[in-house]
Amino acid sequence: MCIMRRLRDWIISGRYGKVFRSHLFCTPTVVSCDQELNHFILQNEEKLFQCSYPKPIHGILGKSSMIVVVGDAHKRLRNVALTLVNATKSRAGYLNDIERIALHILGSWKKRVVFCEEARKFTFSVIVKQVLGLSQDEPQTAKILEDFLTFMKGLISFPLYIPGTPYARAVQARARISLTVKAIVEERRKNGGDCNNKGDFLDVLLSITNLSEEEKVSFVLDSLLGGYETTSLLMSMVVYFLGQSPLALEQLMTEHKAIRANKKKDECLNSEDYKKMEFTQYGQNQTACKKFTPFGGGPRLCPGSELAKVETAFFLHHLVLNFRWRAEGEDPPMAYPYVEFPRGLPLQVEPIL
Ligand code: HEM
């Protein structure tokens, strides 16, 4: 097969090209930064390739995590994920919840914000609301966030299980999040499904009979993990690049002004408005290159991509209509190993009156 021959040539041809051999987590590894090869690998998962993570990651994510399971077990969990995504999307308050949280965060802005922190607050509040039905001011939300940050720090750390190491802390944080989630699940069961949340993610998850209790909790954790930093980083990247491109910002503002002009004052956004956010969605997708795979591909294509795009679009809508901003000094994104803005993207903001 041509691509396999090319893969061999790529690896042989040089150590520091787009594809090279290395040693990561004590394992011989091929690293690929080649879009075409990555696309090919993703499309051929479970055929020519199989997903696998270093053992210590299993210790943190848990053996039932959808991210680490393979084969039929993955297929079964993935079907559940797709059912849940559809159930969540058709819930009446789905879009309103996202918009309300965006307005709440933007409403608290004074003269200066550290954008990455604001974006994280936003995406965390959205995912906790969507998955567990909790709002930002509930004590359980703060507890989950604290444990979650510890969990994230240990996810890519040296796998040394000695009290006090980031790895050990992450494993313990995961156990605490599991307990909190189990308590929320129990409460929901006792109340026989809260009528305010009927048909939400948690109700649907609880009604699924072919998942064990452990798998259900793991599922909630995967959704929190998948839906938090990824989306806030997308938002930060968009805001960063808009700051570098006045023309794109102008075009984005024109799109959102036109949508607002057709609505009453303070009227909520709906799915028709979202469809009209074509330039906004184009910017997020970067579809110019078909092989670009920000949401993965093949049997592991991200099930949360639509939620991430709606969140970003709705936040941008209110951001560009209500604020002017200017980056406070240079702060380009760097990868170590997550892509981050070293100073968190500080912005001077000014309301548009
Ligand atoms: C900009 C935001 C996002 C990006 C860039 C992103 C990216 C990705 C990528 C690349 C994968 C494939 C991983 C692999 O091949 O193993 C993936 C999978 C996944 N994502 Fe996302 N994601 C985003 C938002 C979300 C959201 C909001 C959720 C939750 C609602 C979510 C939940 C998941 C889950 C559960 C998986 C595992 C799917 C599977 O193994 O079949 N993601 N995501």
**Of all protein residues, whose CA lies closest to atom 30 belonging to ligand 1?**
304
Whole-number Cα distances in Å, 261 to 221, 269, 347: 40, 12, 28
Cα(5) to centroid(ligand 1), Å? 30
Tokens 């993935």 sit at which residue? Answer: 78
Q: What is the pLDDT of residue 188?
A: 85
Residues 161-177 as b/e (b if ≥16 CB within 10 A, e otherwise) read eeeeebbbbbbbbbebb
Which domains, ranges and CATH numbers included, belong to the chain? 2-52 (no CATH), 53-353 (1.10.630.10)
Tokens 């790895």 sit at which residue? Answer: 167
Cα(8) to centroid(ligand 1), Å? 29
Whole-number Cα distances in Å, 310 to 33, 44, 270, 280, 351: 28, 29, 11, 10, 23
User: Which tens digit of pLDDT belongs to each residue from 35-74?
Assistant: 888 999 999 999 999 998 877 788 888 889 999 999 999 9
Q: What is the pLDDT of residue 63?
A: 87
* 173 ligand 1 Cβ < 6 A: no
Cα(86) to centroid(ligand 1), Å? 15
Q: What is the pLDDT of residue 107?
A: 96
Q: What percent of the chain has pLDDT over 70?
A: 90
Q: What is the pLDDT of residue 269?
A: 96
Q: What is the pLDDT of residue 91?
A: 84
* 304 ligand 1 Cβ < 6 A: yes
Per-residue pLDDT tens listing for the chain (353 residues): 566 666 666 666 555 678 888 887 777 888 888 888 899 999 999 999 999 887 778 888 888 999 999 999 999 999 999 998 988 888 888 999 999 999 999 999 999 999 999 999 999 999 999 999 999 888 899 999 999 889 888 887 777 788 899 999 999 999 999 999 999 988 888 877 555 556 688 888 888 888 888 888 899 999 998 888 899 999 999 999 999 999 999 999 999 999 999 999 889 999 999 999 999 887 766 544 666 778 888 999 999 999 999 999 999 999 999 999 999 999 999 987 778 999 999 999 999 97
User: Which tens digit of pLDDT belongs to each residue from 231-283?
Assistant: 999 999 999 999 999 999 999 999 999 999 999 988 999 999 999 999 988 77
* 81 ligand 1 Cβ < 6 A: yes
The pTM assigned to this predicted structure is 0.90
Other residues' Cβ atoms within 10 Å of the Cβ of residue 126: 26
* Type of residue at 34: D
User: Rounded CA gap, 26 and 32, in Å?
Assistant: 18
**Of all protein residues, whose CA lies closest to atom 14 belonging to ligand 1?**
300
**Ligand 1 test: best mutation among 83, 220, 230, most atoms within 8 Å of CB?**
230
User: Rounded CA gap, 287 and 279, in Å?
Assistant: 11
* CB within 8 Å of 146: residues ≥ 6 apart: none
